[in-house]
């Protein structure tokens, strides 16, 4: 029996999602269905799917934005992407011509057209594999510009793509359009505190996939306990050793991914 392929379906219409479940063979595919763009990006990070079937019209962000993050933001040229749309193939091809897609699926579809789209994606050319050294997106939430400059200088450019936000509100605005894999968070911020930001990420947004590392000059036991309640992955005590910064952040990220896999975590459907 051939090895199963990991297939991620991004579709907010439950009736359409049910058709995928009906038509796709469990012997050939491990299927995960998510209903919005942000969970699609979370699933892409965790599952490393072989194929993504991507709806264009999603409730939180466009399919084009999702594809742009996968291809450009994460440099993933390996994953086959099939665009699913009620628009004509010509219209979709023109809209997505710069994003290296491997197939088209016109809605409404049947079993034959779905199989044809998947077969087309297997045969279509794609860019070279991105490999293991794809830069990880890092959001640094830090209001001290001297410290944020240290992150930008000492986090390896080949491994990390760093963006700095100087407040919790600025960070949340950035997260509306971007999905970094790692957040390095100062606790003492203007306006929204670091703990308030943590609550927003872990509780209000139910985000468990983003690796969050606290950076603080305060390492008192009660502060650490407060942060641990919100499932942080690491704690950097300022002033930190800049020479060890890259390895520390990578270690926190790798351990987090291992923990998520052991949990059997996949993105929620809603």
**Distance set, CA 117 to CA 2, 18, 26, 256, 267 (Å):** 19, 18, 18, 35, 25
* Domain spans in the chain, listed from the N-terminal domain onward: 5-123, 136-263
Helix axes 14-23 and 111-123, enclosed angle (nearest 10): 70
CA 164/CA 173 separation, integer angstroms: 12
Residue 17 has pLDDT above 70, yes or no: yes
> Tell me, what's the pLDDT at 132?
40
Residue 58 has pLDDT above 80, yes or no: yes
Cβ partners under 8 Å of residue 116, min gap 6? none
Could you report the per-residue pLDDT of 70-98, keeping only the tens digit for each?
988 888 888 999 999 988 877 877 887 77
Residue 135 has pLDDT above 60, yes or no: yes
- With a pLDDT cut of 70, the percent of the chain lying above it is 91
Do the domains 136-263 and 5-123 match in fold?
yes
CA 224/CA 221 separation, integer angstroms: 5
What class has domain 5-123? alpha beta
Q: What is the dihedral of CA 148, 149, 155, 159, to 10 degrees?
A: 90
Q: What is the pTM of this model?
A: 0.55
Q: Please, are residues 236 and 207 in contact by the beta-carbon 8 Å criterion?
A: no
Mean pLDDT calculated for residue range 245-256 = 87
Task: Return the H-helix or E-strand segment holding 22.
Answer: helix 14-23
252 vs 268: which has the higher pLDDT: 252
CATH superfamily of 136-263: Response regulator (3.40.50.2300)
The tally of CA atoms less than 13 A away on the side-chain side of residue 76 is 21
> Tell me, what's the pLDDT at 126?
54
Mean pLDDT calculated for residue range 185-206 = 93
CA 107/CA 156 separation, integer angstroms: 44
> Tell me, what's the pLDDT at 270?
40
In this prediction, residue 55 has a pLDDT band, given cuts at 50, 70 and 90, of very high
- Which range has the top average pLDDT, 34-48, 207-221, 249-263? 34-48
Could you report the per-residue pLDDT of 151-191, keeping only the tens digit for each?
999 998 878 999 999 999 999 999 998 889 999 999 999 99
């Amino acid at each position: 029996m051939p090895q199963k392929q990991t297939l991620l379906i991004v579709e907010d219409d439950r009736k359409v999602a049910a058709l995928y479940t009906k038509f796709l063979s469990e012997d050939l595919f491990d299927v995960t269905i998510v209903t919005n763009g942000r969970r699609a990006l979370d699933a892409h990070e965790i599952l490393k799917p072989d194929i993504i079937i991507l709806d264009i019209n999603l409730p939180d962000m466009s399919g084009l934005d999702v594809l742009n993050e996968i291809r450009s933001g994460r440099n993933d040229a390996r994953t086959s992407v099939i665009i699913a749309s009620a628009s004509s193939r010509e219209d979709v091809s023109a809209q997505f011509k710069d994003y290296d897609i491997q197939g088209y699926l016109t809605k409404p579809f049947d079993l034959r057209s779905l199989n044809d789209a998947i077969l087309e994606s297997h045969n279509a050319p794609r860019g070279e594999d991105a490999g293991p050294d794809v830069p990880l997106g890092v959001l640094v939430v830090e209001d001290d510009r001297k410290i944020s400059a240290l992150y930008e200088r000492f986090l390896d450019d080949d491994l990390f793509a760093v963006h700095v936000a100087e407040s919790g509100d600025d960070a949340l605005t950035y997260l509306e359009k971007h999905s970094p894999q790692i957040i390095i968070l100062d606790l003492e911020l203007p306006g929204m505190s670091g703990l308030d930001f943590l609550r927003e990420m872990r509780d209000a947004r139910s985000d468990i996939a983003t690796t969050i590392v606290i950076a603080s000059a305060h390492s008192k036991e009660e502060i650490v306990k407060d942060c641990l309640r919100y499932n942080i992955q690491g704690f950097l005590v300022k002033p930190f050793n800049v020479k060890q910064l890259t390895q520390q952040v990578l270690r926190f990220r790798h351990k987090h991914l291992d923990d998520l896999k052991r949990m059997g975590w996949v993105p929620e459907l809603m």
